[in-house]
Amino acid sequence: MATTRRTFLQSAALAGATLGMGDAASTLSAPRAAARPRPRKKLNLLILGGTGFLGPATVETALANGHVVTLFNRGKTNPHLFPDVEKLKGDRNAGEIAALKGRKWDAVIDLTAYVPAHVQAVTSLLADNVRQYLLISSISVYADLTKPFSDESAPVVELTDETVATMKTIRESIAHYGGMKARCERAAESAFPGRTTNIRPGLIAGPRDRSDRFTYWPVRIARGGEVLAPGDGSDPVQYIDVRDLGDWIVLCAENSVTGVFNANSPAGRFNMAEMLYGIKGAFATDARFTWADAEFLKAQELNEWKEMPVWIPAVGENAGFHLVRTDKAAAVGLKFRPLADTARDTVAWHNETRPADYDFGQRAGISPKREAEVLKAWRIRNTQRAGGALGTEAGE
């Protein structure tokens, strides 16, 4: 089955807060982005979430830049992180947000905005006490990504009020992830008119990403040998390093940047071959790629995005998926670090926190055994085709 936008959006969302991600074993200290001039004003920042994947990268930048951070979450995911930071407990699913009442912050960074009613509840408590609301949305808000190079003005998914009302929890919202994110954006903007920053990342990559969608490739390539690769290498890809994104979110708070922004690698920077060869360049590895076409992979039940992660063939409804414009964010400071840095740091995190026989079959990617089977099937198919072609020639 081809990956529809719906299945992609759901898997993207499930990789986040709803998986109850933990990295208790990690003592990770990811390298920071190169220093750049920052305004000196110390901010009080409230971060809704903060302990999964994008959260830690954002908190680390905020602390490194001298800001005061308060976290708000249930205290379940990685509670050992940031022992010196103020932690407020609550549960957005249960409407338990009383801990935010009567408090003042310079800016809120909402990493757990999935349900519009959750955003309404928080913003109505904070609209008079906070200057800026930064909401982490997603490029999944777009209703139509059939055309390359769409920008922030493209139409978003529209849900009816009745549909929205059926989803009260983060988990339930995943059924209409993009449309619910679009409604969350609108809820924030209506409570903080002109004071909202709606940030729409594409695939987020880097240390602590337990979805394996990017992680599979650098770990696989670093292992070396014959690597099964999807398509012919020409399909475009976009992603954003989690630390570049966290860094830029904080920059938007520091500089009071408001508006709507896609946050991704520059459109057209990489195709699949450039990404995989770029990753290879980061490691001393003898990896070599065997490219198998989409039809063959489908017959082997290896799907784009899932078993062959990151990859989305640039056709039909997904033709523009990995070609979203990002120049607006770049103009206000979004940086994009070298692919090799993301690849190396992701593998370092993986090696530090996971067993040597970690099974990539469970979330994204494929196991070494499955890869070997498919490579064998690919060779047999090619031999048969070559034999068939030769046979035809001989018979003519």
For binding to ligand NAP (CB under 6 A), which residues are involved? 12-13, 15-17, 49-55, 73-77, 90-93, 111-113, 136, 138, 170, 201, 203-204
Q: How far is the CB of 161 from ligand NAP (least distance, A)?
A: 22
Taking the least distance from each CB to ligand NAP, the nearer of 7 and 290 is 7
Closer CB to ligand NAP, 201 or 371, in the complex: 201
Closer by beta carbon to ligand NAP, 49 or else 230 = 49
Question: Residue 15 or 191: which CB sits closer to ligand NAP?
Answer: 15
Between 71 and 287, CB nearer to ligand NAP: 71
Q: Cβ 316 to ligand NAP, closest distance in Å?
A: 22
C-beta of 353: minimal distance to ligand NAP in Å? Answer: 15
Alpha carbon separation from 155 to 144, 151, 162, 300 (Å, rounded): 7, 10, 20, 36
Is 330 or 372 the residue whose CB approaches ligand NAP more closely?
330
Residue 83, classified by CB atoms within 10 Å of its CB into exposed (0-12), middle (13-18) or buried (19+), is: exposed
Collect all residues with Cβ–Cβ distance below 8 Å to 154 and sequence separation of at least 6: 142, 143, 144
Q: Give me the residue label for tokens 């770049």.
A: 330
Question: How far is residue 354 CA from its own chain's centroid?
Answer: 20
Whichever of 112 and 303 has its CB closer to ligand NAP, that residue is 112
Q: Is 359 helix (H, G, I), strand (E, B) or coil?
A: coil
Query: Do 75 and 97 meet the contact criterion of CB atoms below 8 Å apart?
Result: no
DSSP type of residue 266: P
- Six-digit token string for 19: 């998986």
Contacts of 230 (CB under 8 A, 6+ apart): 272, 291, 292, 294, 297, 302, 304, 308, 311
Residue 256: CB atoms within 10 Å = 13
Q: Are 138 and 150 in contact (CB under 8 A)?
A: no
Q: From the CB of 176, what's the least distance to ligand NAP, in Å?
A: 13
Q: How far is the CB of 19 from ligand NAP (least distance, A)?
A: 8
* Closest distance to ligand NAP from the beta carbon of 198 (Å): 11
Query: Least distance in Å: CB of 396 to ligand NAP?
Result: 53
Smallest distance from the beta carbon of 20 to ligand NAP, in angstroms? 6
What residues are paired with 109 via a beta bridge? 47, 134
Helix (H, G, I), strand (E, B) or coil at 100: helix
- Pick the closest to residue 70 from 28, 104, 34 (CA basis): 104
| Alpha-carbon distances, residue 282 vs 207, 213, 218 (angstroms) | 15, 18, 9
Task: Compute the Cα dihedral for 308, 309, 315, 316 and give only its sign.
Answer: positive
**Closest approach of ligand NAP to the CB of residue 290, in Å:** 27
Write down the least CB distance from residue 172 to ligand NAP, Å. 12
- What is the phi/psi pair of residue 72, to 5°? -130, 115
Asked if residue 232 lies in contact with residue 294, where contact means CB atoms within 8 angstroms, the answer is no
- When the beta carbons of 20 and 387 are compared against ligand NAP, the nearer one is 20
Nearer to ligand NAP, 362 or 392 (CB): 362
Closer to ligand NAP by CB, 21 or 33: give it. 21
Both tokens assigned to 243: 């630390």
